[in-house]
Amino acid sequence: MRGAPTVLHLDMDAFYAAVEQATKPSLRGKPVIVGGLGPRGVVATASYEARAYGPHSAMPMAQARRLCPNAAYLTPRFGLYRRVSEVVMGLLRELSPLVEPLSLDEAFVDLQAGEASGAAGEWTADTARAVGERLRRDIRAATGLSGSVGLAGSKMLAKIASEQAKPDGLVVIPPGTERALLAPMPARTLPGVGPATAQTLRRAGIATVGEIAEAGEAELVRLLGRAHGGALYVMAQGIDERPVVAERDAKSVSVEDTFDTDLTDRARIHAEVARLADRCVERLRAAGRSGRTVVVKVRSYDFSTLTRSETLRGPTDDPAVVREAAARLVESVDTTAGVRLLGVGVSGLAAFTQEDLFAQAGARAAEPPGVRPPEPAPPVAAGPAAGEDHGAVRRWLPGLDVRHARYGPGWVQGSGLGRVTVRFESPGSPPGRVRTFAVDDPELEPSEPLPPWGGQPSEPAIRPNVMSSSEAGEPTPGTSSP
């Protein structure tokens, strides 16, 4: 274990919802819930104002609406979240080259590998705390958002510290205090203790981390097996020697969609698979990778899930090849009873593309007659644009960005019965006015989102000084999106 709390864990506070509040002045200080808005949607993030009523991540959206009916329910804008995440991760890399991102809003940092403390060997609890406080200030100045920071001598304890710091705080666990801190905590505090392991421990009369340590390694091995029991005993002592790893090689790239109503039409299923294949290849190319194995995931109406895979003769990032392989795979699955979820993935990743034209030509020739997928249909789930063009009719999804020829930038507050309601405001403006238009209004168009620091959608992510939410003025009451 380290002699100073030089492992930092950052967890942004209610990240998706906080980005929405930062870019929508009328929602600051109001309940906001981000996630899938269909009948089968789940909550991705709930703001702290919404959590007071009970909604939380992974809760079915229908249940969240019952608990907090007056919240603003918004479609995720993952492109904007990634852009804000890049700014935050850039600040972390200024502290140390060893940054281990866990998600868009969470990462470990090994401060000892950087120069933030000045001369080597001068790390103390006070110097680590000063670095953590400066990081929190820099994040707020650059993005207008808050993050919680934990500092400890190991990754496990740093993550526990950041949980204790939430929201918008900092907690330092000084070396030597680990066991006393962990002892009264529930057993599920430790990594690797899920519901099944916790139940096994409860049956043996073990409910806290301190009781795990007192049980002894032999008893834990008897209950959980040598690998799991031994690792759990070590962690209960406050010992975690896992290093911060700067690069994590992805093993696969995949996308999936859950549909509001079960799909039974084969043409529609093939169209959705083709669309998912194209999205998967976009992610593959964005990562600078290619892949050799195409995987299709099909979840039926009864939640039973099947996967099918096909390994190509060489890695590829050709969307046509992935589409055709995915079409062959889904053709082998019986979908007559209805499909609630489809997914397409690529594994066996490589950093290069081995284009085998003969393999690709053979793949096309081997395709059974009549199964070539039609052109992709518009997606059922939320897409990147606020208005999806369905011939002469558009769907305007709550929370997504628009621009009106006369009124400028805004966001969709709700739509229905041939009308769309838009609130016209931008990150640096006061709370804006609400106006209603016909869904086919020619002056209303989807637009790219503005970042929390304002500016233009195409501007690169930098570290500007921005107005905090408290400086932007008192928000007006928010409304619920249909």
Q: Which amino acid is at 213?
A: A
> How far apart (Å, rounded) are the C-alpha atoms in residues 418 and 425?
23
**Buried-exposed string 36-54: b where 16+ CB fall within 10 A, e elsewhere:** bbbebbbbbbbbbbbbebe
For the chain, what percentages of helix, strand and coil (3-state, to nearest 5) are there?
35, 25, 40
Token pair listed for 42: 């789940």
Report H helices in 332-452.
357-366
Catalytic residue flag (residue 214)? no
Q: Which amino acid is at 115?
A: E
Report H helices in 36-123.
48-51, 61-67, 78-95
Q: Which of 106, 178, 324, 331 is catalytic?
A: 106
Main-chain dihedrals φ then ψ at residue 363, nearest 5 degrees: -60, -40
Between β-strands 170-172 and 147-152, what pairing exists: parallel, antiparallel or unpaired?
A: parallel
262: nearest Cα among 210, 185, 318, 339: 339
> How far apart (Å, rounded) are the C-alpha atoms in residues 401 and 386?
6
> How far apart (Å, rounded) are the C-alpha atoms in residues 283 and 437?
35
410: nearest Cα among 359, 447, 362, 455: 447
Q: By the 8 A CB rule, do 57 and 41 touch?
A: no
Q: By the 8 A CB rule, do 437 and 424 touch?
A: no
Q: On the CB side of 445, how many CA atoms lie within 13 Å of its CA?
A: 7
> How far apart (Å, rounded) are the C-alpha atoms in residues 425 and 175?
48
> How far apart (Å, rounded) are the C-alpha atoms in residues 185 and 189?
7
> How far apart (Å, rounded) are the C-alpha atoms in residues 55 and 78?
21
Q: Which amino acid is at 225?
A: G
C-alpha pair distances (Å), 88 with each of 32, 104, 117, 124, 135 = 22, 9, 20, 24, 9
Given the structure tokens 């990754």, which residue do they identify? 155
The set of catalytic residues is 106
